Structure 1
Amino acid sequence: MDSGDGERIEVTAMTDDEYLWEPVRNCWSIRPQAAGPGPGATMLAGAGDWGRDAGRPHPWPPPITTIAWRLAHLSEMLTLRADYTVGSRSLTEQHYVFHGDVTGGLRDFAEGTRSWRAALVSADDAALDEVGRSSYPYGSDPEEPFLEIVWWVNQEILHHGAEIALLRDLYREQRG
């Protein structure tokens, strides 16, 4: 990949160990449903064999989370927000299927970004000002202009993407 200044750099493929690595005690992650929620979580969100640690109410301060948790959070958010913008408006976090391996996690993220992009390209200038264009029920979407939701989603991708990059650096250094 390009480093940003024209220099070519090699980015190593992520392993399942790195994807699920817990850098500190009491991390939130993606876990087998049979194992139940991790420390401090009150539930595992999702359908299928794996779930995402979650809490109701949301804990403060928020727990440290794994790459798997962060990537799953982004994938779920993109998919559900797209559904509540241009889809069936019916998906919930309990419908979403999480994966305990990096291949599934990256595939879900790619699909979530495709879905969200489809929602974005369907919006003209008037749609960006439309209040409630996204009716996603787990945020302020129904009360906000769509442009505010787009801003929020971009902020989440940048925020969690940077955290994933930092965790990759820490994992690499920890492993030598």
Structure 2
Amino acid sequence: MAIPDRLAPLLAQFDFARQRLTDRLAGPVVNSGNGTDVPVGPMTDAEYLWEPGPGCWSVRRQEGWTGEGGTLLSGAGEWGRETAPYPHPVPPPFTTLAWRLTHLSELLALRADHTVGTRSLTRDDYRAAGDAASAIAAFDADAEAWRGALLSVGDKELDTVGHCTYPHGGDAEEPFLEIVWWVNQELLHHGAEIALLRDLYRIRNA
């Protein structure tokens, strides 16, 4: 299927942001934005789970979790992502790099499923990663799944309200093209947050 003209720039933006975040996480270099390659080491497990301050929400082991952050631990498997039912706390808690990357990967995976998959997965089905390498691999797989969902649509689907049935957003009320835009901004802003957390971790003892 040919890529609709309206989708093409959003797909290109998604691909660029995805590659830049992947490079920022795994190295060995990341494009500085002006064509210069900047060396960057791969993310470590300690960095992935680093808590810059007290009261952070993070990714934690299901076994033995006592609710130190949030009131829910969503996800299947050994690890889960801390959260709370609506309304969320105000001001929101500070979230770790692990939380932000898992949140991003989860929304890509679930939206792909609710576009071209079973249309049944929820946050409780997603398997959060407890280590950096697994988290990077999960992001890559989930981003690829979402990209596949984008390649499945034509102009009719882009205009269809509720084409994606993702249950944790406004997807049921929006044309699919608006959801594509929204996912891109999620990738862009969480990618920027993750990059900043990597910088802060690097200079934490300076």
TM-score by length of 2: 0.82
Alpha-carbon distance in 2 for matches of 1:168, 1:101: 15
Alpha-carbon distance in 2 for matches of 1:151, 1:53: 26
Deviation string, structure 1 residues 94-129 (Cα, Å, up to 9, x no partner): 111111100111111111100100011111122111
Alpha-carbon distance in 2 for matches of 1:118, 1:44: 29
Alpha-carbon distance in 1 for matches of 2:93, 2:164: 28
Residue 3 of structure 1: how far off its partner (Å): 2.1
Gaps of 5+ in 2: 1-29
Equivalent position SS for 1:35? coil
Residue 25 of structure 1: how far off its partner (Å): 0.5
Alpha-carbon distance in 1 for matches of 2:171, 2:37: 40
2:42 to 7, 10, 13: 13
Alpha-carbon distance in 2 for matches of 1:121, 1:175: 45
Q: What is the aligned partner in structure 1 of residue 94 from structure 2?
A: 64
Cα pair 1:37 1:53 within 8 Å, conserved: no
Q: What is the aligned partner in structure 1 of residue 10 from structure 2?
A: none
Alpha-carbon distance in 1 for matches of 2:35, 2:163: 40
Output aligned runs, 1:40-55, within 5 Å: 40-55=69-84
Q: CA RMSD in A?
A: 1.2
Q: What is the aligned partner in structure 1 of residue 21 from structure 2?
A: none
Relative to structure 1, the CA distance from residue 80 to residue 88 in structure 2 (aligned partners, 3 Å threshold; closer, same or farther) is same
Gaps of 5+ in 1: none
Q: What is the aligned partner in structure 2 of residue 165 from structure 1?
A: 195
Equivalent position SS for 2:165? coil
Which residue identity is paired with 1:136?
Answer: Y
Between 1:72-81 and 1:8-17, the stretch displaced more is 8-17
1:34 to 58, 63, 77: 63
1:92 to 99, 122, 147: 122
Alpha-carbon distance in 2 for matches of 1:42, 1:141: 25
Deviation string, structure 1 residues 7-30 (Cα, Å, up to 9, x no partner): 222111110000000001000000
Equivalent position SS for 2:182? helix
TM-score by length of 1: 0.95
Which residue identity is paired with 2:138?
Answer: D
Q: What is the aligned partner in structure 2 of residue 145 from structure 1?
A: 175
Alpha-carbon distance in 1 for matches of 2:165, 2:108: 13
Q: RCO (CA 8 Å, sep 6+): is it higher in 1 or 2? A: 2
Residue 139 of structure 1: how far off its partner (Å): 1.1
2:161 to 124, 127, 131: 131
Which residue identity is paired with 2:191?
Answer: G
| Alignment partner of 1:107 is 2:137 | yes
Residue 65 of structure 1: how far off its partner (Å): 0.5
Deviation string, structure 1 residues 63-105 (Cα, Å, up to 9, x no partner): 1111100000000000000100110001111111111100111
Alpha-carbon distance in 1 for matches of 2:191, 2:129: 18
Residue 38 of structure 1: how far off its partner (Å): 4.5
Cα pair 1:37 1:44 within 8 Å, conserved: no
Between 1:121-130 and 1:84-93, the stretch displaced more is 121-130
Alpha-carbon distance in 2 for matches of 1:63, 1:23: 12
